[in-house]
Amino acid sequence: MKTKNAIILAAGKGTRMKSKLYKVLHQVAGKAMVDHVLTQLEANHMDNIVTVVGFGAENVEQALGERTKYAVQKQQLGTGHAVMQAADLLSDLDGQTLVISGDTPLFKAATLQKLVDYHTAKKASATVLTSIAPDPTGYGRLVRNDIGIVEKVVEQKDATPEEQAIDDINTGVYCIDNKTLFDALKLLSNDNAQGEYYLTDVIGILKKRGDIVAAYRMADFDESMGVNDRIALAKANEIMRNRINTHWMEEGVTLLDPKTTYIDSDVKIGSDTVIEGGVTIKGNTVIGTDCYISAHSDIINSIIHDEVKITSSTLEDSEMHTGSDIGPYSHLRPASEIGENVHIGNFVEVKKSFIDKGTKVGHLTYVGDATLGKNINIGCGVVFINYDGTSKHHTNIGDHAFIGSNSNLIAPVNIAEDSFVAAGSTITDDTNKFDMAIARARQTNKPDYAKKLPW
C-alpha cells in the first residue's frame, strides 16, 4: 500500500536566535513554529509524520506529544544526514515523502498539497517546491537548462556568480518517492564547502541516473520564509497575524484597527463581534457572536459567549456567559466563571469564583474563592478574604443577598439568600435567611476634639 509520509527537520540549534529556547519552539502567533508545520501536515492527512530532533529533543517531544514519531540526529551533519535518521521508520514504505523544515511556520496545507499533486501528475521521482525571491541571498538556487528542465539545486556557498544571480530559489520543501529518497541518501557525499551531507544533492543523484525531477513554483514567496533570527521571527509574526486578521474579517468579524490587533492562530471568533485596536487574544480562546471588545483588552485561553462586552480588561482561563459585561480595568484570573447578564464593573478582580445570573459586582472589589448566587448586589470596596496565611478558604453567598460597601467577608463563611450585610462590616460568621449582619463599632463623636489636631 502506498503511504503519504512527511519528515520535519527540527534538529538545528538555531544559534542565530541567541536564545536558551530551542529554535523551532519559538512562537509565531501563539504557537511554536514546528507546531505550525505539524498542524498543516495533519490537515493533509499524512499516514506517517516523523520529526527529526537533536538539541532540545525532549522539549520538542513535550510540545508535540504523540502527534508525530521522532528520530534523533545526534550530530549536526546537514539536512541529508538529518533525513537519514528517519530510515528505520520509513525506508521500507511505498509511497511519497514530503520533507520540510521545522522553522518554516508560514506554509499552508493547500500549498503542500499542490506540491504533492504536481509531483504525482508529473510522475516525478522528486519535486522541489520553489518560489521567486525578491532577494535570493542565502537561499539554495534552482538551476534549470535552456528549456526549463531542472538540472540541480545548488547551495548559496557553493554557487557560482552566475548561479547566485538566479532568483528561483529552493524553499527547502521536497516531495520524493519514499524508497527512491532513502536509496539516494546512501550515495550522498560531504565534499562541499560546509562538509555536510546536503539533501539538495539527492536531486543531482536522481538526475544523473535519469529520473524525472520536477519543480513546482508556489505563488506566495512569504510562505517559504525560514526563521533563523529574531528579525525573521518578528516578520513571520507580522505575516501570520495579518493572515489571521484577514481571515476573521472575511468571516464577519469587525476589526477596527487590524494593525494593532493580535489574535493567536487557535482563537475562534463569531460573526458580528467588534474588536477595537490594541486588543490581544491568545491561546485557545473562543469568542461568540455579537460581542464587543474594547481597546487594550487581553484575553487568554477563555470562553466568551454571545453578546458579551469586555471593556479594557484582562481575562485568563475564564468564562463569561451570554449578556455579561466587564470593565473597564478589571481582571478575571484563572478558573473564574461569570454567569448570564452579570455585571463586573471597573477595578474588580475575580479569582477562582462562580458568579451566577444577574449579579452585580460594581467596582473596586476582590472576589476570590467564592460562589455567588443570582441577583446579588456587591457594593463598592468589598473584599473576599480567602487566605489565612496557610490555606485558601471558600465563601458562599445565596441568591438576592446584598453586601454593603467596604465590607470584609472572612472565609470560610456562608451568607444566606435574601440576607443583608451592612456597609463597613467585617463578617466572620454565617448568616440566616433575611438576617441583617452588622459588624462594626458604634460611632462616637468627641466634641471640639478636632481643635487639638496639628492640622
Q: Which residues does the annotation mark as catalytic?
A: 363
Q: What are phi and psi of 56, to 5 degrees?
A: 75, 25
Residue 452 grid cell: 487639638
CA distances from 305 to 76, 131, 146, 196, 273 (A): 49, 43, 60, 54, 11
Query: Measured at the alpha carbon of residue 85, what is the angle toward residues 124 and 87, in degrees to the nearest 5?
Result: 55
DSSP letters along 166-179, please?
Answer: --EEEEEEEEEEHH
What residues are paired with 299 via a beta bridge?
Answer: 281, 315
Kindly compute the dihedral angle of the four CA atoms of residues 75, 77, 79, 80, in this order, to the nearest 10 degrees. -110
- Among candidates 278, 272, 276, which has minimal Cα distance to 287? 272
Cβ neighbours of residue 58 closer than 8 Å, sequence gap 6 or more: none
Q: Which of 306, 334, 300 is nearest to 320 (CA)?
A: 306
What percent of the chain is helix, strand and coil (3-state, nearest 5)? 25, 30, 45
Q: Report which DSSP code applies to 442.
A: P
What b/e string do you get for 391-402 counting C-beta neighbours within 10 Å, with b at 16 or more? eebbbbbbbbbb
E strand map for 102-147: 126-132, 140-144
Is 433 within 8 Å of 415 (Cβ atoms)? no
Type of residue at 392: K
Instruction: Indicate the angle between helix axes 201-208 and 178-185, nearest 10 degrees.
Output: 100
If we measure between CA atoms, which residue out of 48, 126, 276, 77 comes closest to residue 263?
A: 276
130 neighbors 169 (Cβ within 8 angstroms): yes
Report the distance separating Cα 320 and Cα 379, nearest Å. 21
Map residue 246 onto helix, strand or coil. Answer: helix
